[in-house]
Structure formats: C-alpha cells, structure tokens
Amino acid sequence: MSDEGERLTELAKRRGFFLQSANAYGGVSGFYTYGPQGAALKDNVEDAWRDRYVTREGHMEISAPDVMPEAVFEASGHLDGFDDMIIECPECGESHRADHLVEDNTDIEEAESISTDEIADLIADHDLVCPTCGTELAGEPVDDFNLMFETNIGPGSSSPGYLRPETAQGIFVEFPQLAEYARNQLPFGVAQIGKAYRNEISPRKSLIRVREFTQAELEHFIDPETDEPPLERVEDVTVPLYSVAEQESEDGSVQERTIREAVDEGIIGDEWVAFYLGLSKAWYERIGVDMDRFRYRQHLPGELAHYAADCWDAESELGGDWVEITGFAYRGDYDLKKHESHSGEDYTVFKQYDEPVTVERPTVDPDMSVLGPEFGGAAGDIGAELESLVERDPDAFDGDTVTVVVDGEEYTVDIEATGYSVEEVTESGEHIRPHVVEPSFGVGRLVYTVLAHAHTTDEVDGEERSYLALPPEVAPTTVGVFPLMDKDGLGERAREVASDLRGAGLEVTYDDSGAIGRRYRRQDEVGTPFCVTVDYETQEDGTVTVRERDTTAQQRVAIDDLGETLTALRDGDLSFDEL
C-alpha cells in the first residue's frame, strides 16, 4: 500500500470512516464496515448521485434483490464468462490474481486485457515470485476463476441462486414491467443504488478492491434509430481523454478536448457515451474529486466487453495508480436479447408510427399435413423455427428448399410445404428492442477517492494541521457546535443552538471537551466545514462565531439567522466571503 493509502487507512479507522470487518475474529479480507463518519459520507455521495442522475434527468429508481435465481445469470452470461485470472503458489498454496502480479512487477498497466497464456509467459519471463512466501511461479498454470458467490434459495439444493455481481441484471430482468411503468415511451432510464458481490481472488488496497461493494448504476433505454442525446447541454465541457490511440502510442498522453471536438474527431465513438462523460465531469467536481488527478480512459480492444460498442472508464489517481471509479458503456441490446431468449418473454416496446404504413411482409404458413408425416415429432418445432427464420432472414426462402436447425439437427423442407408468401400489410407501428447506455459508478471507490483527494495539510498558528477539504454537501457533519467553556450557562446555550440546527435539517456534532483549538482540529480532521462557538458575547448580543474550515476565517452571525445561513453555505447558495 502507498504512503497515501497507509495514512488514509489509519485516519479512516481512528476517526470512524471505515475499518476491516470482524476484527474481533481476525478480520475477513475484502469486507469493510463504514463507521459513523464513513456511513454519512457514503450516504451523501449517494444522495448527490441520485440528485444528478435520477431527479434532474427525470429517470426512475428501483431496488432489486441481492440474491437472484440461477436462470438470471445463465441468461446474462455470468456463469460462463465472469472470470479473473488465478495462479496458485505450489509451496504455500496461496492464490493470487495473476494479472495483478504482472501489473505490480512490470511496466504493463492493463494486464487484464491479456490472455491467460500470455500472462503465464510474462510471469516466467520476469521471474515473478509468490508475494506471500517468495516461491518462483514460472511454469505454474494460470486459470480462470469465476467470481460469483453461490447460495441456495430455500431448503436443500434444488433452487440454486447467486449473490448478484452487478446491480444491472436486477433492472434488465424486470424490463417488460418497467417499460409499462414508462408507458412504453422511449427513451427512459432506470437507476439503482445497491450492493453487489464478487469473490475476488486477492482483495487489496482497502476499499479499492473488495468482495462486497455498492454500485450506483443507470440503464438508459433508447431507440437506436431515432433517439439522440442532448449533446448541446455538454458540448462545451472540456474533458481529459486517454484514448486507445494515445495508450498505444510510445509517447501517448491525456488529451484535453471539448465533448463536441471529441465526437467530431471520432475520439469518442458514441454520442450517448459522450453525453454522459460530459454530464459527469461537473458531478465529480461537485463531490470533491481533484480534476488534476482525474481522466477518462478508453477501453483497449482486448478488455472491451463483448457486448460493448464503446466503453470509457473514469479513473482517479490514488497513491500513484490510476483506479477505475466509473464505467461508461454502450451495451446495445445484448442484455434484453439474452433475457428474451432464455425466458420466452417479450423484451421489446411497441413504437407507434405517426401514420399507418403499408409494407410487404414475408410470412409462412407451414403445412402440417406434409411436415407431420415427413418429420414426425419434430414437425411442430420445425414449423416454429420456420416462423422465426422468415422474420430473421427472409432471403433463406429464395430457393426450392429451406434448411432449419432444431436441437442441433438440420432439417430440409420444400418451400411449398412452408406456405411461404409475401403479403401487403398495413401497420400502425413496430416492436423494437431498445439499446442500453450504462454509466456504472463504484460508490466505495468514489468515497475513497474523495477522502484521498480531500486530505490536506497546512500550518495554523505555527503548528501543522491535517484536515479533509470535503465539499460541504458531502461532508459527514455540516457544523460542530462548541461552548467556549462549559460554565456560566454557555454549555446550555450551545446545546440549544445544536438542537435548533438539527431541527433545521443540518448534521450537527456537539463538543465541549478540551481546549477550543483542539476541538477545531478534531472537526477539521473529519472534514466538518463549519464550526460555531458560543461565547460570552453570545450572552450579550445573541451572536455566535462561525469558523470556516479551509481558511480558518471567522465571522459573527446572529443566532436567529444561523440555520438559514449555514444551510445556504452548505448548499453553495452563499460563500463564506459574503457573510
């Protein structure tokens, strides 16, 4: 772990942001408990996400179960292809993620996109050893390891299920009903914030790679033929882009482009992805991501998901490494098509035409009096496959015969027996399967990024001060309330002020322990943006001292105006200089 990571982990445990779970029993790798400060920070980041991507964009939000039946993940492909590379030490038996060993010990940055055979060769070529015991790993097999957590639904083992590895499938599988809620009007978006689970081979770097984590995902369903993003809203936003071309260049670097320039130059291939990159940049700044330690990186061909036409990651620099905090992908209709195929349900929406149109429509009417005697029990399935084939590939009926495949076996049918014809029909609309644009945010990594980027030191009154420069909107506590000393009625008055501020909807902590300077430092260290001190002047004129964290500047504010003033400061409607 880097020096930054060690400092942050120490602060997080000491001040209640996060700590490894079940420490009383030795701890368990890859699971973390958010303490009082961390839980509040995480909630505030989620609320800011919900405000930006749900409320302001007019999307709907759902909450699906963490456990889903096996059939869902058979359809999605997770059971067959949700793997990481694993290598086992022949001496101590410890398992390690093979691509991470390569990344940690070579100049290769994105080893995940390399095949298992190539990874094994790299381990041998670089004489890599087991990080646990130092045994050489050359010649050891590199295998695929499925990351799914398996369980059983109900007693026994007859109904297998899995902890979801992503929240997205909980949206996709319910699409037919969600489309009804949206009145079958495209485009529409469905969001979800929830837990996901991946049985990581080697969890590491604190919240960066864990086995249980929170995702905030938006699935934006669009008509690929007609729906265009409102690119004019973000076209002038300048974004730092690390494209495939730059990554593959010897002297490649991050390029600054406006969204419009990036689209026009073909750097970003899909306009919907470009829209969300532009929309998200201001949101990252809003929650406290340092833009000098931020970039958008395009997926290399070897790491591009099979369903994705284009994919970019938002990455933040943490301890010298670039870490993915969000993935932006154009998923096409892959997910809906897979669930439709496996479930037999309709995963389309009906698109009404402005006016009815007359079209030529190829159809079949299989003659079962011919198919039955010729093909016996397979005749019904053959007829159904003919009906499907004429929709997919009407040109297949151009000859004297047509061939279909049922249960892996080919059957050749005379065209006359298929009842093939081309008819003129008048249609009022058509069924289309939407495509999906997906921004997927890792909440834990965002929380870690915000803490790491906010951690700051300076000098106050000749002493070094450590503080978290968190934006007031996401800070766990908005205001600390102190009596100058707990006597002469100051404590009682300060407790009244704290209670009134809580009633005004502010997150408040009360502290009367120790010197006032030490109390300030405690709040600075957890990122509290404002502190209020009740002193003897308060008893005389009804004002209190309000102190701002970053500059340590102070102003007197009337108690009667305090709640409104602090709310405006928190929400960005008022700057401290304007007091």
List pLDDT tens digits, range 394-446.
Answer: 999 999 999 999 988 999 999 999 999 999 887 888 899 999 999 999 999 99
pLDDT in tens, 483-520: 999 999 999 999 999 999 999 999 999 999 999 999 99
What pLDDT score does 135 carry? 94
Burial class (CB in 10 A: 0-12, 13-18, 19+), 477: buried
For residue 546, CA distances in Å to 99, 313, 571 come to 52, 41, 16
Fold of 477-578: Rossmann fold (3.40.50)
CA quadruple 338, 341, 347, 352: dihedral, nearest 10: 120
pLDDT in tens, 234-266: 999 999 999 999 999 999 999 999 999 999 999
Cβ within 8 Å of residue 437, ≥6 positions away: 219, 220, 222, 270, 272, 273, 276, 328, 329, 330, 331
Q: How far apart are CA 370 and CA 413, in angstroms?
A: 10
Fold of 1-79+147-348+433-467: BirA Bifunctional Protein; domain 2 (3.30.930)
pLDDT in tens, 150-201: 999 999 878 999 999 999 999 999 999 999 999 999 999 999 999 999 999 9
Give yes or no for a contact between 533 and 548, defined as CB atoms under 8 angstroms apart: no
What six digits make up the tokens of 247? 């990554």
**Range(s) for CATH 3.30.930.10 in the chain?**
1-79+147-348+433-467
Task: Quote the DSSP letter at residue 142.
Answer: -
Q: How far apart are CA 452 and CA 479, in angstroms?
A: 21
Quick one: which of 223, 256, 219 has its CA closest to 237? 256
**Range(s) for CATH 3.30.40.230 in the chain?**
83-146
Q: How far apart are CA 426 and CA 356, in angstroms?
A: 6
What six digits make up the tokens of 217? 């995902």
Give yes or no for a contact between 362 and 386, defined as CB atoms under 8 angstroms apart: no
CATH of the domain spanning 83-146: 3.30.40.230
pLDDT in tens, 291-310: 999 999 999 988 877 677 78
pLDDT in tens, 359-406: 888 999 999 999 999 999 999 999 999 998 998 899 999 999 999 999
**Range(s) for CATH 3.40.50.800 in the chain?**
477-578
Q: Note the pTM of the prediction, 2 decimals.
A: 0.86
80 pLDDT tier (thresholds 50, 70, 90): confident
Strands 435-442 and 455-460: unpaired
Cβ within 8 Å of residue 430, ≥6 positions away: 350, 351, 353
Burial class (CB in 10 A: 0-12, 13-18, 19+), 354: exposed
Q: How far apart are CA 382 and CA 395, in angstroms?
A: 18
